Structure 1
């Protein structure tokens, strides 16, 4: 049975003293004071997001970020290194400039997608076309040669550019419901047409490129004003760009009305061959139990539509700040404390999976992993991840956290094990107690997750400071605990499809030769 508990003062009438060799209050007070009065968070955020920028795996900027982090840790007296675990397609983003040049001139809000092939300096000028409505695959094949030398729009035209909450606030209920119905019908028609063409998005792009298209024009709206999600290109020789909804919709209407708009696309990039991929790993060596580990976990890489501020620059900042504070205030912890800044999480938890594969001696002796990865907000949820006695030790550690931080956190014990989503899963699936510190939304999913708006100005530093205090205290409590945690797992319920007990999720295998 899961117990759902909102943590507050009244929940912690017990004392943590029997489990610790020293009084914790002075250290906890010092942690709070250090983060509040001498924070490095703003400087870390500026250097990482503004100066280095997005951290796409395989790019020079990703390498720059790894090297920067090692220097930062070393400057704080913390040993750190970049641990190579594989290779990835090496690529560097250059200038993107997309202009409508006919029937009138207008510069458009657009960017090339990651790993897009480059154009020449002059770019490519061509007419823009939309996908046809077809009855079957044969009809689509007959249309396909017509794309030669043209840019092809591969996203549907959205029914509205207003978020649903904006409609709900201002529209009449009838108008709101009418819009949602029209949108549903539009999506259904689009999906049916894709089925009739005989393609999914990946195979469609390949077919268009093979048919001689001049380039691919996409638009992945994130359901917020001015926000698109930016992922990777699927082309090998021709450019792929994403155009923001407002301009994409305009172009779509122009094509449908027979205006035959033309674009000039300049999408400069460099194919750099192959680059090594790394995890940045920092360590404060334990003094009494150096072969037991507390890990502070955050992924270092990002997509590159914005600068990766909330996914996952804020998580990186929290873990680095916590390490700085712990080294300053508790330089000789009982257990070894590691900060893992993982590479290529965005392509499937590759960095943390590789670390877990390469270091079973660490995974088998983990006291706790604390992972943060879903935005700038203060931590509001912790799940026991299916470890039967997680309530006992997590509640003990949380009891030391100041009430103004702790009272916001809802916990679920013993919870269910995570099979993916973020880097804690790389450890949970291997039987190690690892916990996601889930954050308050701040409209993360629509406005900053993998979008062109994930930038420094979206960071809420009050919440990030709260998280740094939480992580530093939790790491301190876990490292100094007289007890090693129980790794006993719950018995998972019956799978309704098979009639058999569900099994603990299996680990992912790290991709060590990616993007090629």
Structure 2
């Protein structure tokens, strides 16, 4: 009798090829099963989109951000404003009735720019708009007065090394892309100091300018003298370049009162919707709460932080509870190199196998087009299928590589990662400048970004199986 059963079983195999013979957890799902599972979220995705874009939650993330940005202002690492922002968000997340709202301690850099100005003395008097770069040292109390040498690249600086000694190096490097051009901001002071310069002024890393300097973090090297460094406007850099090209002598007086203090206590801010079936497994959505000390930090990264909060709010409003825990993390001290995220990673990496995906929005909340994704091919196929749920708002693309300083630690260890992909055409007009204010934000675009962020995070958190890695 047992042989008859075996023959019957073998004969049945071809019609079940590539399919799970049973629907319980002992057998892996095929991709067709997964597609069908994702298709089952169509109505929920539509409900999220309707609530975020057309319903009672319309413009909520924008309005919440406006109150926050107008009340708190810019939030530099180590500042009283950042402390106030963290307290504000801790209270707001509790009032929103999210779960496990708590603060995780972090030590963060504390640098203050102090008073600063620059004046061209030759060939004419001209006030140069500057913003000191993060971690810069101060000038002597009387300031620095020196002749300027203008270069367009590190290669030119090295070729003209003898000319640079005792001078202020002005970098007039053209903007190519942020990733490529930002090295002048981060390394400009070090390279200038290596050839004996007394200070460096960096053309702002901006694709467009209206005489507005853009700040950012820069890094010294232990074996290289530390010289004062600041960013200047595109217009002033180009003007001095033209003067230099004509052979005109340029003399600048620079005064900076920057100070670096001992590291300060700060916090990553955390809230959750606890999973119904696999509460130990985590889908993490995030943005960073700190900003530079200019503008309002509304774009970088108020928008990303607030659509991440909005994702949990929308899910709660709809009475949904995913199988996995949906965790919101508002990072601290991202602008200084992901300090809060690094300490969070060190604290939680022992549970890395329980992190399903890490998501960060830190490139604006403009018109969204899709999702940047880092993960293996199987995971990418699943994410592509999830993005089809966003066809009602025409945001379905999946791009190579997620981008986010705060989630890099996890992605390097193989955890899938995602970042919001949106229209960056004007992002670097305002980045790290006085222009980063609520005026940059658009409520309709934020609604769409919140819908994308919520649909993706909820579906991944609620699917029966974690993303493959």
Name the CA shift for 1:284/1:238 in 2 (closer, same or farther; >3 Å).
same
**Higher relative contact order structure (alpha carbons within 8 Å, sequence separation ≥ 6):** 1
RMSD: 4.3
Q: What TM-score, normalized to structure 2?
A: 0.73
String of CA shifts for 1:49-108, please: whole Å, max 9, x gaps. 4443444434444333333322221221224233124x3431123343333455644333
Cα pair 1:111 1:242 within 8 Å, conserved: yes
5 Å-filtered alignment, 1:226-375, equals: 226=210, 229-232=214-217, 239-254=228-243, 262-304=251-293, 306-330=295-319, 332-360=321-349, 362-375=351-364
Please, which of 388, 406, 421 is the counterpart of residue 438 of structure 1?
Answer: 421
String of CA shifts for 1:386-430, please: whole Å, max 9, x gaps. 3343356435644544x332x232136xx6x66x65444333332
Query: Structure 2 CA distance, aligned partners of 1:328 and 1:136?
Result: 58
Which residue does the alignment assign to 1:70? 90
| Structure 1 residue 91 corresponds to structure 2 residue 111 | yes
Cα pair 2:430 2:436 within 8 Å, conserved: yes
Please, which of 175, 197, 206 is the counterpart of residue 222 of structure 1?
Answer: 206
Query: Structure 2 CA distance, aligned partners of 1:28 and 1:368?
Result: 20
Query: Structure 2 CA distance, aligned partners of 1:60 and 1:97?
Result: 24
| Structure 1 residue 479 corresponds to structure 2 residue 438 | no
Q: What TM-score, normalized to structure 1?
A: 0.67
Cα pair 2:334 2:406 within 8 Å, conserved: yes
SS at match of 1:94: coil
Cα pair 1:221 1:244 within 8 Å, conserved: no
Which residue does the alignment assign to 1:456? 438
Alpha-carbon distance, 1:292 to partner: 1.9
Name the CA shift for 1:53/1:264 in 2 (closer, same or farther; >3 Å).
farther
| Structure 1 residue 153 corresponds to structure 2 residue 165 | no
Which residue does the alignment assign to 1:470? 452
Cα pair 2:287 2:362 within 8 Å, conserved: yes
Cα pair 2:62 2:442 within 8 Å, conserved: no
Name the CA shift for 1:439/1:123 in 2 (closer, same or farther; >3 Å).
farther
Task: State the aligned residue count.
Answer: 423
Name the CA shift for 1:390/1:383 in 2 (closer, same or farther; >3 Å).
farther
Name the CA shift for 1:34/1:74 in 2 (closer, same or farther; >3 Å).
farther
Query: Structure 2 CA distance, aligned partners of 1:397 and 1:249?
Result: 47
Cα pair 1:298 1:371 within 8 Å, conserved: yes
Which residue does the alignment assign to 1:32? 52
Alpha-carbon distance, 1:322 to partner: 1.8
Name the CA shift for 1:255/1:299 in 2 (closer, same or farther; >3 Å).
same
Query: Structure 1 CA distance, aligned partners of 2:430 and 2:118?
Result: 23
Alpha-carbon distance, 1:36 to partner: 5.8
Which residue does the alignment assign to 2:14? none
String of CA shifts for 1:150-174, please: whole Å, max 9, x gaps. x61331487xx9x99xxxxxxxxxx
Cα pair 1:67 1:82 within 8 Å, conserved: no
Query: Structure 1 CA distance, aligned partners of 2:110 and 2:49?
Result: 46
Which blocks of at least 5 consecutive residues in structure 1 are unaligned?
1-13, 165-186, 192-199, 490-516
Larger mean CA deviation between 57-66 and 317-326 belongs to 57-66
SS at match of 2:362: coil
Cα pair 1:39 1:321 within 8 Å, conserved: no
Alpha-carbon distance, 1:378 to partner: 3.0
Alpha-carbon distance, 1:475 to partner: 2.7
Cα pair 1:308 1:455 within 8 Å, conserved: yes
String of CA shifts for 1:434-457, please: whole Å, max 9, x gaps. 22232222333x424455644332
SS at match of 2:64: helix
Which blocks of at least 5 consecutive residues in structure 2 are unaligned?
1-34
| Structure 1 residue 404 corresponds to structure 2 residue 392 | yes
Alpha-carbon distance, 1:315 to partner: 1.0
| Structure 1 residue 124 corresponds to structure 2 residue 143 | yes
SS at match of 2:466: coil
Name the CA shift for 1:138/1:319 in 2 (closer, same or farther; >3 Å).
closer
Alpha-carbon distance, 1:358 to partner: 1.8
Query: Structure 2 CA distance, aligned partners of 1:349 and 1:217?
Result: 25
Cα pair 2:209 2:235 within 8 Å, conserved: no
Query: Structure 2 CA distance, aligned partners of 1:136 and 1:247?
Result: 19
